[in-house]
Amino acid sequence: MSSSTSLYQRRRNATPEEIEAIPWIHLLQPHERERAVAAILVTEACAGEYVSAIGKPASYWFGLIDGLLKMSADHADGSSMTFTGVPPGGWFGEGTCIKRETYRYNIQALRKSVIAGVPLETFQWLLDHSLGFNRFIMNQLNERLGQFIAAREIDRMSNPDVRVARSLSALFNPVLYPAVGSVLRITQQELAYLVGLSRQRVNEALATLEAHGAIQVEYGGLRVMDLHELREGHFISARRQPTQTA
């Protein structure tokens, strides 16, 4: 996974289609938008590549155009703790940018991803000048607070089916990840990495969730049928029976 060119050397300008797909761009006034569009950079990250590393000073506010990212903290003892996955349409790092601190998480691409970046100066300028931008940021911070509280509950849950369900409901959050819609492109292997379970167990859990009518399993992705059930459901004792030997 080692590439000779760094992420920042492979950047380019955003295409008009990519700009249109950015959720907060539509909340800006024309002159604000103009300034933002001129500053936004786009880069591609290969699977396994790091987008930001803990300790590096904040230089960009990031958004995911396409692909899948993992937000985690790696400890000195080699273990790592995954906080959350980031699906397309998600923007992150605003907390660090606001305070001009260093990044507190590692952001790693789980597969080939297209990432947008707003330079720190532009981010700060938008904060100082755009009411719509401030609304977006405030709304996002509030929504994410709810997610982190929910994530603490997920961590102490033993039932794998419920863990998978809750983690999925976070990825389907329409406020934080509006680009996801009702179909999330994620493989069972990728989901296993995010949740911290084996692929087999995730596969089994997905079958359970599907049996409950909460989701529909598709090749290379999932379709939500009942987001509320994913968030609140218990999915108890609905395991598949072992095959009979007669």
Taking residues 151 to 180 in sequence order and writing x for each that binds DNA by CB under 7 A, - otherwise, the string is ------------------------------
DSSP calls for 119-173? EHHHHHHHHHH-HHHHHHHHHHHHHHHHHHHHHHHHHT---HHHHHHHHHHHHT-
Given the structure tokens 């709810």, which residue do they identify? 146
- φ/ψ region of 86 (left if φ > 0, alpha if ψ in -120 to 50, else beta) reads beta
- The answer to whether 46 contacts DNA (rule: CB under 7 A) is no
β-bridge pairing 41-45 and 113-119: antiparallel
Rounded (10°) CA dihedral 57, 86, 47, 4:
-20
Whole-number minimum distance, CB 62 to DNA, in Å?
23
Whole-number minimum distance, CB 164 to DNA, in Å?
12
C-alpha–C-alpha distance, residues 122 and 140, integer Å = 18
Q: In the complex with DNA, which residue's Cβ is closer, 11 or 112?
A: 112
Q: In the complex with DNA, which residue's Cβ is closer, 217 or 236?
A: 217
CB 170 within 8 Å of CB 147: yes
- Piece of 60-68, 137-145, 165-173, 215-223 that binds DNA (CB under 7 A): 215-223
Choose, by CB under 7 A, the member of 6, 15, 29, 189 that binds DNA: 189
CB 115 within 8 Å of CB 49: no
Residue 97: Cβ within 10 Å count? 22
Choose, by CB under 7 A, the member of 81, 200, 228, 236 that binds DNA: 200
Taking residues 51 to 90 in sequence order and writing x for each that binds DNA by CB under 7 A, - otherwise, the string is ----------------------------------------
- The answer to whether 203 contacts DNA (rule: CB under 7 A) is yes
Whole-number minimum distance, CB 163 to DNA, in Å?
17
**Positions that interact with DNA (CB under 7 A):** 111, 187-189, 199-200, 203, 206-207, 217, 219-221, 243
